[in-house]
Amino acid sequence: MCLELTWKTKQEVREQVWEKMTRDEIAQFPLPCFGRIPNFIDVEKASKLLLDLPEFKKARFIFSAPDYVLHHIREIILQNRKDLLVATPRIQEFLMLKNIPSRIIRKAITIKGMYKFGEQVHINQISRPLDLFCQGSVAIDRKGNRLGKGKGYGDREYHLLRQEGIIDKQTLVITIVHDVQILDDFSYLMEKNDVKVDLALTPTEIIRF
């Protein structure tokens, strides 16, 4: 990806990625991608790589952020009869989706469907740790550093769950991105509470950090 190797701010990284994805018509609905966790062409191909992960095959309890780019990820999780914990937009609440009938899974993975078919849960009452924590990204680098859209919701979701013991050392942090969202190194911009990812799914590969 032909972007500058040095950025002055996190927002500069985001802006360049959004511009690249828009200019090359990589971003897809919802548009414009500016200010969002971008959805992208071939997202379904990237999502299906989840099925190749031994960690996914063993997993029973998985978290997904509400990002649209995770639409197919949520579908795969429920199709494989795994329990899905989701955060609603702006972390207003957490919902549990489990034992969703196959015929309504596609409805249940939308924001509206999560509210309709999910059960509200208080995270201090959840007694088991997550196997996987899935979230979208605006950009990641080759060291596993991640940037969201700048509102801090992804990191807050992680830390809220970690504080309650629902995320532990065994929980794998996964993101899904297009290959052009992977940059070389912006680690010098990262802060103490920024959550790194363990693994990325792209349309062409699985990357472990």
Write the pLDDT tens digit of every residue in 126-144.
999 999 999 999 999 999 9
In this prediction, residues 101-108 reach a mean pLDDT of 95
Q: What's the rounded Cα separation, in Å, for the pair 79 and 101? A: 9
Q: What's the rounded Cα separation, in Å, for the pair 183 and 31? A: 22
pTM of this structure:
0.93
In this prediction, residues 3-12 reach a mean pLDDT of 81
pLDDT at 4 over 60: no
| Annotation: CATH topology of 10-208 | Rossmann fold (3.40.50)
14-32 exposure pattern, b = at least 16 Cβ within 10 A, e = fewer: bebbbebbeeeebbbeeee
Q: What's the rounded Cα separation, in Å, for the pair 207 and 94? A: 29
pLDDT at 161 over 50: yes
Q: For residue 175, give the nearest of 206, 136, 146 by alpha carbon.
A: 136
pLDDT at 9 over 60: yes
- The token duo for 158 is 């992680």
pLDDT of residue 5: 59
